[in-house]
Amino acid sequence: MGRQADVEAVTAVLDHDTGIIEMAVRGRWNRQVWLESYRMINKCLAGHPAGLVLDLSAFEDPRGASTSLWLTAAAQGERMEPPVPVVACMASPQLAVGLRHMPGYASIRSARTAITSHRTTTSQVRLQLHPRPSSAATARQLVTAACEEWGMPLLLPRARLVATELVGNAVVHAGTPIDVVISHRGQVRRPVTRRSPYLHLAVYDRSPRMPATGDGRGHGMRIITAAVQGWGALPTREGKVVWAMLREQD
């Protein structure tokens, strides 16, 4: 029973290959699980993933009290630009009734397949690096080429700085192979909002140790916080990803 109590009620893992986050909710629905789920959904969507799969296979909610939270998450993802599909997976029959207007799937695999087959095309470049000091310079070159190719010169100084810090931190603190993924999001400018496109930088490593947040942040993470519109970190099956988003100043 002690081991069961130690299991986290809500966990999230980002799939390296697809960019989809799998968020699992376990146990019986109560206020604490609601709070953890709410916080985790916001954390996951803040990184603008390719999709969010809600794994409800080990979740008990016979009265369907949690329905509004999952539907709100789906609506929130739909309003993002580009939209982030939020789907439910393996929900109980009682809960599935309340989620009938939300995409639902019988397995994680089928949910991932559905998301990847309908995802919005996004410009993206990838680079694999060794844990060497020179890797930061290589990442800067990739960011420079990407910003020039996508017509985002105003972002270039900040993007180069952030890429340097993210890769440098991975070299020093993880010391493992590194994957850098640079994406151009929100290509369509809507005259009503005039929101500019933004750059999404993600650095994957093989270490599960998360970067410090709050007052415990190192100098590099404080630099990143000042230079971006948002950043965060999530576990992956092989380690973690640290991401940052930069938008041109409107």
pLDDT band at residue 77 using 50, 70 and 90 as cut-offs: very high
Which of 28-42, 99-113, 138-152, 202-216 is the least confident region? Answer: 202-216
For residue 219, what pLDDT band results from cuts at 50, 70 and 90?
Answer: confident
Q: Which is higher by pLDDT, 226 or 24?
A: 24
Q: 3 falls in which pLDDT band (50, 70, 90)?
A: very low
Q: How far apart are CA 144 and CA 33, in angstroms?
A: 43
Predicted pLDDT at 217: 58
* pLDDT value of residue 189: 42
Does residue 27 register a pLDDT over 60?
Answer: yes
Question: Which three-class secondary structure string do you get for 112-138?
Answer: HHHHHHHCCCCEEEEEEECCCCCHHHH
Three-state SS for 76? Answer: helix
- Nearest 5°: CA angle at 79, between 77 and 83? 60
Of 63-77, 81-95, 179-193, 235-249, the poorest mean pLDDT is in 179-193
Q: Which residue has the higher pLDDT, 9 or 121?
A: 9
Beta-bridge mates of residue 230: 245
* Domain architecture of the chain: domains with CATH: 2-118 (3.30.750.24), 123-247 (3.30.565.10)
User: Of 170, 169, 244, 237, which Cα lies nearest the Cα of 12?
Assistant: 237
Mean pLDDT along residues 19-44: 96
223-233 pLDDT, tens per residue? 888 889 899 99
Q: Which two tokens stand for residue 235?
A: 């576990």
106-118 residue pLDDT tens: 999 999 999 988 7
Exposed/middle/buried for residue 53 (C-beta within 10 Å: 0-12, 13-18, 19+): buried
For 20-42, what is the mean pLDDT?
Answer: 96
